[in-house]
Amino acid sequence: MFSYRHAFHAGSHADILKHLILIHLVEYLQEKPGALTIIDTHAGAGIYSLKDGFAAVSKEAEGGIFKLFQFIESGHPTADSVKKYVGLIQVENVEGELVTYPGSPFILARLLRPQDRLKLFELHPKEIDILRHNVRELKQAKQIDVYAEDSFSRLKGLLPPPSRRGLVLIDPSYEDKQDYRYLETAMEEALQRFATGCYAIWYPALARREAAALPDRMKKIATHHKRSWLHAELRVENAPGERRLQASGMFIINPPWTLEKNLAQALPILIKALGIGSGAQFVLKSFEV
């Protein structure tokens, strides 16, 4: 436990899929003026250097955000949601050169309106200190609460939010194999308390039994609670035996009606920009109650 540091994966293809979807969810939910509560159950450090530290060692951003920026700079056609996502990454890189990658806490903080609130959970003893320090630097800091607590057990206590309008990002590291089980329990409890919330769950698309079963487990929970869902997976390559993460997915419960159309445009662009060989492909499925 606690060997996972998100800086190794900052700006990877998995971050791109997760953050692009996250931005669309927030923007859709902000179409109404009522206050929105956003809960990021697994926050990480908040923002990462791409030039030094863990990210420079792993070089995952080279196959992710650097590749996407090059693709766009070469004049390839893109999609609105890709442009919006890239715009938010550029906010943290005012000098033009890509040196910093914002994690979900910073992306979400930048999108907050004055009436919105952001709640961040982080358990790692070093990451929580870095996160607190980073959040203090934000002009939105007063709208943000940071909890050094286990979000799987604490989530239900925050639901439903006072305004009854809420978005929950669940982005575990799955470092602890039990996370798959904790996720199911947390989702059951969350839907019992706040069935109309929008829930976005990230997962690594791995051969491991629990990971492969995750989308079906989430479908079962959504169906049991009579909720609509959307499932998107982005595979950038198919190289059996290769240790690096080649695919990841997002499972959304109560997705906005606009999300599927949006991803039908964005995912083929991400495949063109980030794909390696003919194994690059995406999945996009949904079910409406």
Residue 254 binds to ligand SAM (criterion: CB under 6 A): no
119 near ligand SAM, rule: CB under 6 A: no
Assess 124 for contact with ligand SAM (CB under 6 A).
yes
Catalytic residue among 15, 40, 116, 171: 171
Least Å from the CB of residue 172 to ligand SAM: 6
CA dist., res. 12 & res. 94, Å (int): 21
Q: Assign residue 25 a region: left if phi > 0, alpha if psi is -120 to 50, beta otherwise?
A: alpha
Q: Tell me which of 103, 166, 249, 255 binds ligand SAM, using CB under 6 A.
A: 103
Taking the least distance from each CB to ligand SAM, the nearer of 52 and 150 is 150
Determine if 11 is a binding residue for ligand SAM (CB under 6 A).
no
Contact assessment for residue 134 and residue 105, using Cβ atoms and an 8 Å cutoff: yes
Residues 6+ apart with CB under 8 A from 232: 17, 21, 249, 250, 252, 263, 267, 282, 283, 284
Q: What are phi and psi of 204, to 5 degrees?
A: -85, 130
Q: Does 127 bind ligand SAM (CB under 6 A)?
A: yes
Residues of span 158-217 touching ligand SAM by CB under 6 A: 171-173
The CB-of-129 to ligand SAM minimum distance in angstroms stands at 12
Q: Which two tokens stand for residue 120?
A: 């961040």
Give the total of residues touching ligand SAM (CB under 6 A). 20
Q: Which span (39-47, 63-71, 233-241, 271-279) binds ligand SAM, by CB under 6 A?
A: 39-47
The verdict on whether 52 is a catalytic residue reads no
Q: Which of residues 41-70 bind ligand SAM (CB under 6 A)?
A: 42-44
Does 24 engage in binding with ligand SAM (CB under 6 A)? no
Which residue in 288, 287, 218, 233 sits closest to 263, CA to CA? Answer: 233
Q: What is the closest distance, in whole angstroms, from the C-beta atom of residue 210 to ligand SAM in the complex?
A: 15
Of residues 123 and 195, the one with the C-beta less far from ligand SAM: 123
Q: Which of 127, 146, 126, 124 minimizes the C-alpha distance to 136?
A: 146
Token couple for 195: 């069935």
Residue nearest to ligand SAM (CB): 103
Residues 138-157, mask of contacts with ligand SAM (x by CB under 6 A): ------------xxx-----
Q: Are 100 and 52 in contact (CB under 8 A)?
A: no
Which is nearer to ligand SAM, 226 or 243 (by Cβ)? Answer: 243
Task: Count CA atoms closer than 13 A to 182's CA, side-chain side.
Answer: 19
Give me the helices (H) in 47-92, please. Answer: 54-58, 65-73, 80-91
List Cβ neighbours of 106 (8 Å cut-off, separation of 6 or more): 46, 47, 92, 134, 138
Active-site residue set: 171
Residues that bind ligand SAM (CB under 6 A): 4, 6, 18, 40, 42-44, 103-104, 121-124, 127, 150-152, 171-173
